[in-house]
Structure 1
Amino acid sequence: MERNKESQSSIPLEYPSTAEASKLKDTPTVPSEAPTTIPQSLKPRIRPSFATPLLQSTRSQTLQWTLPKPFQQHKLIGRSRAAWHTSFLVPSLNAVLDAGVLIDDSRPQNVFITHGHSDHSLAILAYCRRITPPDVYVPSETAMHLDNYIMSSKALNLGFSVKSYHNFDEEGNRHSLPNTVGGRLIPWGEQFDRLRLNTPSPSRRSKTPSPVPPTDTPAEAEDDDLDDGGGDPADLILPTHHIIPVSSSSSTIFPLKTHPTISVSILPRSHTVPSVGFLFTQTSNRLKSEYRSLPGTELKNLRQQGVDITYQHRTPIFAFLGDGDHTSLLGDPEWLVGNEDKGISGCPVVITECSFLTDCEEAQGHDMGANAF
């Protein structure tokens, strides 16, 4: 409190003492015959005062952490409150972990959703954009529902229904894509031009009949795929996001498109809805044990002969588990403790829910989750 009081003004002020004030009060005022106007050149310059910025409030909900060495370049920025919202930014990886709330105005390219609860996915709409659509990693069972949620929001903004360029079933399997040619998504500009030229404004669709397309000639028949859906705005595709269904039953390890040396693997989670965790690892080449005692000249000769003397070693950076119980941590899983025989180190940082530790708190948490809307 004292620091705040002292920082209220950037100019120190001096006040007369009590005795001096009394003396000044008793001194009679003598009219001066000298002119009271002070020349402009003699007027003292007044220093402007500025508001002193306050220290960051301890009540701020957004916190920052720096990961331990050797990954201190990675920072975790965000906040989490059980049954309210959870979201963390990792700027160095161009990633956001869960999207229950907006942390700041950044829009990362990689979005990782652990499960579909609204406190972890509600703000996904803010990350969808036509320029550089983000990659959204989501449990396969939730992929279709999340895509429908995003496209429904787009329909509310446009005033008419739109079809997604994703085509999922309830198990997260992708089927044939609409508005594609040879597996290539028709670019947004090409679709927009086709609709603009062939389709009236949505507000006039009921008043103005759609133009009758001309009879195809042999030369035009090759472009039938481009005109599939006619000029109906319902066929408009908004490529604002790229959903990637993931499953913990798969051992697939995929690299980040924005960071080729960083790979992500999927971890199993036990929750009330389909849920996964994400393990972020850094891949590097290390010398095989049988070659470590050899001098550099011999290693160089082996490389020139085409001998593979290195192996890929995966060093975990952190694991993000989201919500769920502790069962995925039981039994010292390999991703947690490591396996040097397979070239895997142990995970130094695990981010997981630990809000409700007792049975009473767990019951309260389920009740809060049901009323989160």
Structure 2
Amino acid sequence: MSTTPSPSPSAARPTDPAAVRIGVLAPLTRPGWVEAGQHLLAGIELGTREVNATGGIAGRPLELVVRDTAADPEKAAAAVDELAGQGVAALVGEYHSVVARAAATRADALGLPYLCSSAVLDALTEQPTEWVARLSPPQSRGWRVYADHLLDTGHRRVAVATQPSVYWATGTRVLRDHFAAHGGTVVELDMTELAPTAVCDALLDQRATALLLLVGHPEPAVPIVRAVRRDPRLAGVLLGAPAGQPEFAAWATALGADGTAIPFLRYLPERLSPLGTRAEADLRARLADAPSFVAFEGYDTIVVLAEALRAGGTDRAALAASWPHVEVEGTRGRISFSRTPGIGVRQWTWAPIQVVDRDPAEPDRFRVLRTG
């Protein structure tokens, strides 16, 4: 798959004066996670095409106005200002949590409805808001499920290789608190100070039985994996990646067999809905690859937004007011929003969670290790 996306048809065509314009945020160039952005956009575009094929919104087609965030919060905030000024009815998308937080904060300030597709940071906004809703589960819930998997498989002393970021710091805190409550320990390895090879010595010094990669992909995640896999002293150490780096094909391409048996989080159910099964086939054809959970999040974003537009119309305030009343079948289950304690945005409370890894015997196959 090309890492330099061509303009999407929905973004490139001239504006239709009758269209309902929707702003889309996605990381489509580096240092953003480009593959995630491509999958997210593929799902959004497929959902849009299907809505338009069935008459659009009261006869008006949806039109996407796509902006590349490149994993830059300031660029995302500027894009929200631009899109709001262009009269979009709503904002959707984004994969990176810190970027989505900047977008959500700006959307809240401007009174622009924002349906966040894929970012998990609990504090998506600093204060409760009626303007923002989210499809992905909050980080605290997903990472506790992940921690339970590690604890249940005998890991009581875990190391995290981490970089400076609100997202990584929040994840580390969730893991540390959960492990401490169950008699376990989490030790932190600062990757601004350690080279990948030095991580191996640190793991031995700390007597850790698992190393979690709370770092960017491909750097420094890929070199860390290679260093640990090639150190015979660490043959029994589990590698993990709760943020989902092994989900995408680029991981398998870069690491081959070294990238297998590394548990990560993804947000899929045990079985897709009938809608999900049909969307999976279309997404596979569109991506020329197996669709990730991010592609399904993108598709579900449009399913939900179309339902909200039908209920609330294109007036921004009315659209935002429709979030708590939406109930619609998505690719991964029935979607509705509610208030979750500690979460400032409308949340799909029971979004599915899995802990999976790539099968060493067949790296393109995923093994489901736990559901939550």
Name the TM tier (shorter chain). Answer: under 0.3
Structure in which a larger fraction of residues adopt helix? 2
Q: Tell me the TM-score normalised to structure 2 length.
A: 0.23
TM-score of the aligned structures, taking structure 1 as reference length: 0.23
